[in-house]
Structure 1
C-alpha cells in the first residue's frame, strides 16, 4: 500500500496497543516510524530496473526478519524514553506494526515475499489497489481524533482499524464473487490463468485479465450495474517469442514475479517486457527494455502510465451504470 496508509496503520496499531501507558503522540510517532521502515528498501539499488522491481517487498517485508527485529526497536524506544518497565508492551506494539505492514501489502497485486528465507514466492491477493481512500480515511480520521482527544485514543484507534479491516474483507469477497462469475463465462475455454483486480482508488470497477496461449483478454466488471456479459478486448501475443526466450534471465524473473501475467514483444532488435497486472487498457506501470542475449542490464521504459486518463475513463464506466 501507499506510504500514508502504512503510516496510519502503524500509528493506529501502536496507539491501540500502548493505550494510556504512554502519551498518545509518542505512540503515534513511533507507530508511524515503524510502519514506514519496511519500505525503506526502495533506497537501495539491486543492480538494474527489473532487479529493483522484484527485490522490493522482499527481505524487509519477510515476517521472520521483522519479528526478529521488533525486540531491538522496542528496546531502543523504551531506552530512549526511559520506559524499561514498558519494554514488553512496546515489543508487542512494534511487532504488530512491523508485521501488519507486509500483511497489508499482500492485499495488493504487486507481490510481497512474506516467507523469506524459506520461500521466494511473491504473494499478492490483489483485492485492493495500492491507493484506496476508503481504506485509509478511517485510519486517518481515527488518528486525528486520538491526537485531539487523547481520552478517546484507544476507542478511536479500534474503530479506525475495525472499519479499514471490514473494507479489506469486502474487497476480498467482491473479488471472489467476480472471479466466480468470470470463470463461469470465460471468453476462451483454453484460458491459462485469470486475474481479477480493482481499478485505481476503488472496489466498484474491476479489471479482468484472461491469459491464453496466443494472447490475453481484458475486460471490466462494474459492481454498480453489470447486467450483461463482460465485453473483452483481445490482445494477441507471439507465443513462439515467449517460448524462445522463456529461459532469458530477465524474462524468467518477470514471468515468475507476475505469475505469468506478462507480455513480450520484439522491437528494434530488443525485447519489450511488460508486467500486465498493474495498469489497464495498454497503459501499464512497469515495462522494460532488455537485450535478447542479456548482454546489457534491463532498463525501465519511460513510465507512460497516465493516471488522469485512466481515472476519467473509469468515471465514464461507473456513470454509465447508473
Structure 2
C-alpha cells in the first residue's frame, strides 16, 4: 500500500496497544515503524526487473521482522522507554512492523512474507495500492488522536476497526466477481484456465479480469453495478520468447508474476510485461529484454524499463462510468495498439 496508509496503520496499531500511554510521540513512532519496511526501495539490485521482483523481500519477511522487533524492543526499553514493560513494548513494535507486510499482501504486487523460503509472494489482490475508502476512515481518527489525547487509544481502535472492515469487504467483493467469472467461462474453452482478478484504481467496485489461453489472453472488466452479468472479453496476443532457453532472470520474473506475462515486439525491441499490474490501457511494468540487430537476429540485452506514458484524458472519466455499470464503453478503456489484436 501507499506510504500514507502504512503510516496511518502503524500509528493506529501503536496507539491502540499503548492504551493510556498513547501520546503524539507514540503515534509518530508507530507511523515511522509502519513505513520502515519500505526503505528497501532504496536498494539497487542491478537491473529494473531485479529491483521489481526483490522489492518487498527480506524487509517484509516475518522471519526478519519478528527477530528485529525483539532486538529493537530490548534496546528501546533499555535506553528510551524504561517505564514500559518489555512485553508491551515488544508487542507494540512487532505489531506496527508486521502489519505493514500483511496489508501489502492484500495488494496485487505481492509480498514475500516467508523470505528466504522458496515460496511465491503472497498476493491476494483484493485491494488497490491506493484506496481512500481504506485509508481515510483510519487516518482521520489517528489525526484526531493528536488533539483529543485522552481518547487517543480509542480513536485509534475505531480507525483500525473501520479500515479492517473495509479490507474484509474487499474479500467479499472479490469473491462475488470470482463467482461471476466462473459463470462466464463455464462451458467454454476458458474453463479451468488460469484467472487473475484485481480491483481497478481507487475502488473495490470495478474489477479487472485476465484469463490466460495458450498464445493469447482475454481481458475484461466487471463491475458490481453491472445489470448484465456477461463480461465483454477482449482477446490479446501473449507473444513468445524467441530463444529456446529463458534466462534465470526471466524465469524469476514469470515465477513472481505467476505466469501472467506478455512478450511483444515493439520496434527492434522485445518487451516483457507483467499483466497483473495496470490495465490494457496502462501497463507500468514493461521491460525491454531483447533487441533485434540488422541481421534480424535477436540478442538478449540488459533489461530496461519502458516508460508507460500518461493516461489518456478520456480514459479517466470512462473508467468511472464503467464503474457505475456502463458496459458499452469497455473499448474506450483500451489502447488501440493493444486491444482486439488477435
Normalising by the smaller structure, the TM-score range is over 0.9
Structure 1 residues 310, 131: closer, same or farther in 2, change over 3 A? farther
Query: What corresponds to 1:154 in structure 2?
Result: 153
Contact 2:227–2:325 (Cα < 8 Å) also in 1 = no
Query: What corresponds to 1:128 in structure 2?
Result: 127
> Once structures 1 and 2 are overlaid, which stretch shifts more, 91-100 or 266-275?
266-275
Contact 1:284–1:305 (Cα < 8 Å) also in 2 = no
Structure 1 residues 105, 17: closer, same or farther in 2, change over 3 A? same
The count of corresponding residues between Structure 1 and Structure 2 is 319
Structure 2 unaligned regions, length at least 5: 292-297, 328-342
Deviations, residues 180-234 of structure 1 (Å, cap 9, x unaligned): 2101211643563111110000001111111110211111111123424011111
Instruction: For residue 26 of structure 2, give the secondary structure of its aligned residue in structure 1.
Output: helix
Instruction: For residue 231 of structure 2, give the secondary structure of its aligned residue in structure 1.
Output: coil
For 1:258-297, list aligned pairs within 5 A.
258-291=257-290, 295-297=300-302
Deviations, residues 30-86 of structure 1 (Å, cap 9, x unaligned): 101111110000001001000000000010000110000002222343344342543
Query: What corresponds to 1:56 in structure 2?
Result: 55
Contact 2:223–2:324 (Cα < 8 Å) also in 1 = no
Please report how far the alpha carbon of residue 122 of structure 1 lies from its aligned counterpart in structure 2 after TM superposition. Answer: 1.1
Structure 1 residues 55, 309: closer, same or farther in 2, change over 3 A? farther
For 1:181-192, list aligned pairs within 5 A.
181-186=180-185, 188-189=189-190, 192=193
Query: What corresponds to 1:304 in structure 2?
Result: 309
Query: What corresponds to 1:29 in structure 2?
Result: 28
Contact 1:70–1:94 (Cα < 8 Å) also in 2 = yes
Please report how far the alpha carbon of residue 124 of structure 1 lies from its aligned counterpart in structure 2 after TM superposition. Answer: 0.1
The answer on 1:225 being equivalent to 2:226 is: yes
Please report how far the alpha carbon of residue 309 of structure 1 lies from its aligned counterpart in structure 2 after TM superposition. Answer: 5.2
Query: What corresponds to 2:139 in structure 1?
Result: 140
Please report how far the alpha carbon of residue 294 of structure 1 lies from its aligned counterpart in structure 2 after TM superposition. Answer: 7.0
Instruction: For residue 89 of structure 1, give the secondary structure of its aligned residue in structure 2.
Output: helix
- Distance (whole Å) between structure 1 residues aligned to residue 10 and residue 109 of structure 2: 20
Contact 1:38–1:61 (Cα < 8 Å) also in 2 = yes
Query: What corresponds to 1:88 in structure 2?
Result: 87
Query: What corresponds to 1:16 in structure 2?
Result: 16
Instruction: For residue 127 of structure 1, give the secondary structure of its aligned residue in structure 2.
Output: coil
The answer on 1:6 being equivalent to 2:15 is: no
Contact 1:145–1:152 (Cα < 8 Å) also in 2 = no
Contact 2:264–2:272 (Cα < 8 Å) also in 1 = yes
Instruction: For residue 114 of structure 2, give the secondary structure of its aligned residue in structure 1.
Output: coil
Structure holding more helix per residue: 1
Structure 1 residues 82, 97: closer, same or farther in 2, change over 3 A? closer
Structure 1 unaligned regions, length at least 5: none
Instruction: For residue 20 of structure 1, give the secondary structure of its aligned residue in structure 2.
Output: helix
Please report how far the alpha carbon of residue 265 of structure 1 lies from its aligned counterpart in structure 2 after TM superposition. Answer: 1.5
- What is the TM-score with the length of structure 1 in the denominator? 0.92
The answer on 1:200 being equivalent to 2:201 is: yes
Q: CA RMSD in A?
A: 2.1
Structure 1 residues 111, 76: closer, same or farther in 2, change over 3 A? same
Structure 1 residues 316, 234: closer, same or farther in 2, change over 3 A? same
- Distance (whole Å) between structure 1 residues aligned to residue 71 and residue 45 of structure 2: 26
Instruction: For residue 284 of structure 1, give the secondary structure of its aligned residue in structure 2.
Output: coil
Please report how far the alpha carbon of residue 108 of structure 1 lies from its aligned counterpart in structure 2 after TM superposition. Answer: 0.2
Contact 2:11–2:31 (Cα < 8 Å) also in 1 = yes
Contact 1:289–1:298 (Cα < 8 Å) also in 2 = yes
> Once structures 1 and 2 are overlaid, which stretch shifts more, 218-227 or 244-253?
244-253
Structure 1 residues 109, 320: closer, same or farther in 2, change over 3 A? closer
Instruction: For residue 26 of structure 1, give the secondary structure of its aligned residue in structure 2.
Output: helix
- What is the TM-score with the length of structure 2 in the denominator? 0.87
> Once structures 1 and 2 are overlaid, which stretch shifts more, 9-18 or 243-252?
243-252
- Distance (whole Å) between structure 1 residues aligned to residue 314 and residue 40 of structure 2: 30
